[in-house]
């Protein structure tokens, strides 16, 4: 035993010295997949990587050249902890497409929207606090919340997003237990991982519930402009200024390599976000911000977003068509935008236990357990259609069908021979979560 009676770790002599909150830092199942999924022979339907090849290189190269010619010393220097003023003004134009009217002074540029999520968590979460989110929810958000020793309470969803009646029930139960609810985290448009979109009526109802119970809403909206047939409803921030922090990013509509996102916050919170930003990174990259600003000023960025929409629409259709052809016994969502399809497996299957066999068949997906903080999701998988080509998607679904059909055949073989876990050498799992299809 080591100091403080904590067990030692032969691989890490400093194991007993970490702060308690470090226990919440765990590798996500999505990140753990990258090493395997990046092998060229594996069709990866796992990671949510944008198809940046659809962005003409000359647009970015021209923006970079112009920045270095016109503002080179500024681009390579430290900058403001709040972000470049010109870019913050342009971000208002981007958000206006989703109904948001705001002041550039309330925009804080961050190193990707995930950094904004981390800063908000640092400002608001104490050990033992509760964050309410959809079930399932964005995997890295849960990693961040847990790193600040907060608990995540998942509210069920259906095809129209988070269910307001269930939200009320969860709030009542948590308050009766004496819990402190600090944030309501939501991805309302083209949800990651479920692919569904929160209806306008529910957006208004959930905002009313949050206001009634004095809960700050954290609206994460990376995919909102990447719709297929029709736009998503306006952002929740468009009708509620004081009770919503809105997170946006250029990672999906431009390129993630710039690592540039933003938070739009109520004024008092904005002040603390700037201080937290300065404490964390001093200032977001001046170079990245100025390149994006030049791109927005000189390129037809709205048409480029429309190009991305076409690319992702074609890939989604290829995925749904392949699922219908090869796995018609499954259920899945039909997103109207974004990157993801949420698949429900037949009840006996375990998506996490099945993953090694899928990789052996040279296809990767993300098991549903990655998107829950409570062990649920074993009956679900997230399939990403954003990065592979349509032909690769069809090949990946054929390989996935081989895995699932093989699992079902195996289950049929062992039917009536005792518990499945004993027969297959795996542990039993609990009841599946509600189906969001």
Task: Centre a 10 Å sphere on the Cβ of residue 56 and count the other Cβ atoms it contains.
Answer: 12
pLDDT at 22: 78
pLDDT at 397: 98
CA–CA separation, 179 vs 105, rounded Å? 34
Q: Tens-digit pLDDT profile for the chain (437 aa)? A: 444 445 555 588 888 888 887 776 666 665 666 666 667 899 999 989 999 999 999 999 999 999 999 999 999 999 999 999 999 999 999 999 999 999 999 999 999 999 999 999 999 999 999 999 999 999 999 999 999 999 999 999 999 999 999 999 999 999 999 999 999 999 999 999 999 999 999 999 999 999 999 999 999 999 999 999 999 999 999 999 999 999 999 999 999 999 999 999 999 999 999 999 999 999 999 999 999 999 999 999 999 999 999 999 999 999 999 999 999 999 999 999 999 999 999 988 999 999 999 999 999 999 999 999 888 999 999 999 999 999 999 999 999 999 999 999 888 887 654 434 333 433 332 333 333 43
Closest CA to 181 of 237, 125, 119: 125
Give strand pairing partners of 380: 344
Confidence at residue 428, expressed as pLDDT on a 0 to 100 scale: 30
Fold of 58-298: 3.40.640
Enumerate the β-bridge partners of residue 341.
383
**What pLDDT is attached to residue 7?**
53
Tell me what pLDDT residue 418 has.
41
10 Å Cβ neighbour count for 213? 16
64-122 per-position pLDDT tens digit: 999 999 999 999 999 999 999 999 999 999 999 999 999 999 999 999 999 999 999 99
What are the residue ranges of CATH 3.40.640.10 in the chain?
Answer: 58-298
The per-type count for the chain, helices as H runs and strands as E runs, is 13, 14
What's the CA angle centered on 113, arms 96 and 318, to 5 degrees?
80
**Strand, helix or coil at 220?**
strand
CA 99 to chain centre: 22
C-beta of residue 72 within 8 angstroms of C-beta of residue 304: no
Per-residue pLDDT tens digits for 264-302:
999 999 999 999 999 999 999 999 999 999 999 999 999
Question: Which helix (H) or strand (E) segment is 341 a member of?
Answer: strand 340-344
Helix (H) or strand (E) holding 261: strand 261-264
Q: Cα dist. 267→108, 114, 239, 242 in Å?
A: 11, 20, 16, 8
Q: What residues contact 8, with CB distance under 8 A and at least 6 apart? A: 1, 2, 15, 16
Strand pairing report for 181-186 and 130-135: parallel
d(CA 336, CA 163): 19
The CATH number, out of the four listed (3.90.1150.10, 3.30.2320.30, 1.20.1300.10, 2.40.50.140), of the domain defined by the range 27-48+304-426:
3.90.1150.10
Rounded alpha-carbon distances, angstroms, from residue 357 to 42, 340, 399, 407: 12, 22, 11, 9
Predicted local confidence at residue 47, as pLDDT: 87
Burial letters 279-297, b for 16+ CB under 10 A, else e: eeeebbbbbbbbbbbbbbe
Instruction: Give the helix/strand (H/E) hosting 133.
Output: strand 130-135
Q: What is the pTM of this model?
A: 0.89
Which residues have CB under 8 Å from 219's CB, separation 6+?
Answer: 186, 188, 235, 236, 237, 244, 245, 246, 247
Tell me what pLDDT residue 410 has. Answer: 86
Rg of the chain, C-alpha, whole Å:
22
Picking from 358, 332, 329, 334, the residue whose alpha carbon sits closest to that of residue 346 is 329
| Residue intervals in the chain for CATH 3.90.1150.10 | 27-48+304-426
> What distance lies between CA 85 and its chain's CA centroid?
27
CB burial string 320-342: b at 16+ within 10 A, e below: bebbeebbeebebbebbbbbbbb
Q: How far apart, in whole angstroms, are the C-alpha atoms of residue 64 and residue 55?
A: 14
**Residues whose CB is less than 8 angstroms from the CB of residue 281 and which lie 6 or more positions away in sequence, other chains included:** 111, 115
Listed residue (394, 248, 425, 415) closest to 321, CA to CA: 394
Residue 270 CB neighbour total at 10 angstroms: 19
Q: Identify the CA nearest to 67 among candidates 283, 284, 290.
A: 290
CB atoms within 10 A of CB 34: 14
Q: How many residues in total does the chain contain?
A: 437
Distance CA 86, CA 109 (A): 11
Report the percent of the chain where pLDDT is more than 90. 82
């Amino acid at each position: 035993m080591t100091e403080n009676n904590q067990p030692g770790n032969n691989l890490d002599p400093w194991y007993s010295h970490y702060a308690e909150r470090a226990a919440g830092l765990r590798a996500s199942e999505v990140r753990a997949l990258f090493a395997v999924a990046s092998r060229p022979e594996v069709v990866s339907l796992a990671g949510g990587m944008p198809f940046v090849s659809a962005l003409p290189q000359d647009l970015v190269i021209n923006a970079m050249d112009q920045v270095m010619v016109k503002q080179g010393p500024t681009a390579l220097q430290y900058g403001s902890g709040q972000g470049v003023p010109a870019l913050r003004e342009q971000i208002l134009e981007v958000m206006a497409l989703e109904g948001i009217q705001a002041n550039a002074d309330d925009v804080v540029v961050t190193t990707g929207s995930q950094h904004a999520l981390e800063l908000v968590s640092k400002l608001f979460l104490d050990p033992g606090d509760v964050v309410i989110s959809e079930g399932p929810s964005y995997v890295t958000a849960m990693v961040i919340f847990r790193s600040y020793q907060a608990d995540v309470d998942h509210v069920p969803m259906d095809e129209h997003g988070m269910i307001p009646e269930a939200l009320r029930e969860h709030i009542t139960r948590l308050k009766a237990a004496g819990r402190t609810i600090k944030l309501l985290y939501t991805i309302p448009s083209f949800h990651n991982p479920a692919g569904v979109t929160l209806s306008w009526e529910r957006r208004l109802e959930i905002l009313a519930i949050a206001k009634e119970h004095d809960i700050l809403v954290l609206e994460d909206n990376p995919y909102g402009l990447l719709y297929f047939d029709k736009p998503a409803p306006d952002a929740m921030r468009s009708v509620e200024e004081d009770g919503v922090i809105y997170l946006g990013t250029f990672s999906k509509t431009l390129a993630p390599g710039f690592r540039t996102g933003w938070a739009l916050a109520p004024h008092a919170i904005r002040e603390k976000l700037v201080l937290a930003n300065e404490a964390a990174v001093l200032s977001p990259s001046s170079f990245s911000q100025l390149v994006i600003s030049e791109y927005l000023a000189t390129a037809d960025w709205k048409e480029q977003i429309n190009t991305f929409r076409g690319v992702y629409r074609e890939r989604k259709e290829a995925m749904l068509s392949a699922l219908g052809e090869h796995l018609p016994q499954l259920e899945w969502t039909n997103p109207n935008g974004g990157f993801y399809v949420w698949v429900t497996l037949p009840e006996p299957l375990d998506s996490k236990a099945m993953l090694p066999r899928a990789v052996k068949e040279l296809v990767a997906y993300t098991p549903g357990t990655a998107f829950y903080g409570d062990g649920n999701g074993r009956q679900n998988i997230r399939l990403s259609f954003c990065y592979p080509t349509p032909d690769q998607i069809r090949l990946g679904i054929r390989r996935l069908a081989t895995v699932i059909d093989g699992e079902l055949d195996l289950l049929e073989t062992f039917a009536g021979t005792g518990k499945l876990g004993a027969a297959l050498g795996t542990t039993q799992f609990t009841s599946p979560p509600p189906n969001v299809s």
